[in-house]
């Protein structure tokens, strides 16, 4: 395992890209090949594909036991780090358990060659277009409420969440990002900002080598959207601070800074980037943030 970590770290130096470390992979075997057959909307764990740009894009879909195709439900799309895949992401973040309790769908797409074309790496695929197509497909075929579509991710997947928040206008009501950021050349442009309200909850580790970049990105986000502090925020745990802001377009920002955490998903119990002792559970906090924020028009 140590040799793999050293190898991955060496590759990440060659990539030179924040937010898509190769030492953060899920460490799990690839997902089984999905069936090409059409799957009728129903509870369960489904391995599916969606054709986009001439490629059959794979994703895992979890529908809770109480899912009723006749009743509109929220959707959370969860994006893995690089290198990774949807199965490993699902095992780490455990959104399926929350979905069972709260009755929403969770989709875990696979990036091409283990990565997503985000703000600083990893690939050339039209991943924003794919996410828009996936949201539209599930809205039309699986009775997802279009006002309650959300996006979350870690690292490379977190970077793509910010990119989609800007470029997929009107699709996502909110994003939740762990160890990812509003960074890279596209984000440097002063007019690179959502054209419709997208709320953000983000988690930044103080020991993450990209912490300063992520924090600078959030300052730019708040400045461009003319966000102001939204009242005092109590410390949720030792060595954890929380800043809240309300933006001029009505969107909200919650930024958790975890002084002792590295490049990780706070509260995750399994996986190479799990941080079970982070002091907060990102999955629960992200869902609570999403549930309170349907799409604003």
pLDDT in tens, 159-178: 999 999 999 999 999 999 99
Would the CA dihedral through 180, 184, 188, 193 be positive or negative?
negative
252 is a domain residue: yes
Instruction: Note the pLDDT of residue 20.
Output: 44
CA 184 to chain centre: 17
The one-character DSSP state at 230 is: -
Number of domains making up the chain? 1
Burial 92-102 (b: 16+ CB within 10 A, else e): bbbbbebbbeb
State which residues of the chain have pLDDT below 50.
1-37
Instruction: Note the pLDDT of residue 25.
Output: 37
Phi/psi at 283 (5° precision): -60, -45
- CATH number for the domain spanning 179: value is 3.40.50.1820
Instruction: Note the pLDDT of residue 103.
Output: 98
Q: For residue 100, what are the CA distances in angstroms to 48, 68, 94, 201, 264?
A: 20, 13, 11, 22, 24
218 is a domain residue: yes
153 is a domain residue: yes
297 is a domain residue: no
Instruction: Note the pLDDT of residue 38.
Output: 66
Q: Is it true that the peptide bond before 8 is cis, omega within 30 degrees of 0?
A: no
255 is a domain residue: yes
Q: Is the pTM of this model over 0.75?
A: yes
Question: What region, left, alpha or beta, does residue 281 occupy, with left being phi > 0 and alpha being psi -120 to 50 degrees?
Answer: beta
CA 137 to chain centre: 19
What is the per-residue DSSP string for 189-219? Answer: STT-S-SS--EEEEEEETT-TTHHHHHHHHH
> By three-state DSSP, how is residue 80 classified?
coil
Domain range enclosing 83:
2-291
Q: Which residue bears the tokens 């780490």?
A: 92
**CA-to-CA distance for 81 and 25, rounded, in angstroms?**
6
296 is a domain residue: no
The one-character DSSP state at 31 is: P
161 is a domain residue: yes
43 is a domain residue: yes
Instruction: Note the pLDDT of residue 234.
Output: 75
């Amino acid at each position: 395992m140590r040799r793999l970590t050293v190898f991955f770290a060496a590759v990440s130096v060659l990539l030179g890209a924040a937010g898509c470390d190769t030492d953060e992979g899920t460490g799990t075997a690839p997902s089984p090949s999905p069936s090409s057959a059409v799957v009728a909307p129903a509870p369960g764990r489904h391995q599916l594909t969606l054709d986009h740009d001439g490629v059959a894009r794979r994703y895992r879909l979890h529908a809770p036991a109480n899912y009723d195709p006749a009743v509109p439900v929220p959707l959370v799309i969860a994006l893995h780090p690089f290198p990774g895949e949807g199965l490993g992401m699902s095992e780490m973040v455990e959104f399926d358990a929350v979905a069972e309790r709260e009755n929403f769908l969770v989709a875990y797409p696979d990036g091409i060659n283990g990565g997503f074309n985000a703000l600083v790496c990893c690939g050339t695929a039209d991943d924003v277009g794919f996410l828009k197509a996936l949201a539209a497909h599930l809205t039309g075929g699986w009775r997802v409420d279009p006002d309650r579509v959300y996006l979350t991710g870690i690292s490379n997947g977190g970077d793509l969440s910010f990119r989609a928040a800007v470029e997929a206008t009107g699709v996502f009501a909110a994003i939740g990002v762990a160890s990812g950021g509003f960074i890279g050349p596209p984000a440097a442009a002063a007019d690179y900002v959502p054209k419709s309200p997208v709320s953000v909850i983000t988690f930044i580790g103080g020991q993450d080598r990209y912490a300063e970049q992520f924090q600078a990105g959030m300052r730019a986000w708040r400045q461009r959207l003319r966000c102001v502090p939204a009242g005092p925020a109590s410390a949720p745990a030792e060595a954890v601070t929380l800043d809240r802001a309300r933006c001029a377009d009505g969107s909200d920002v919650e930024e958790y800074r975890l002084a002792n955490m590295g490049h990780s998903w706070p509260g995750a119990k399994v996986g190479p980037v799990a941080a079970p002792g982070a002091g907060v559970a990102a999955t629960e906090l992200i869902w609570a943030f999403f549930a309170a924020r349907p799409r604003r028009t």
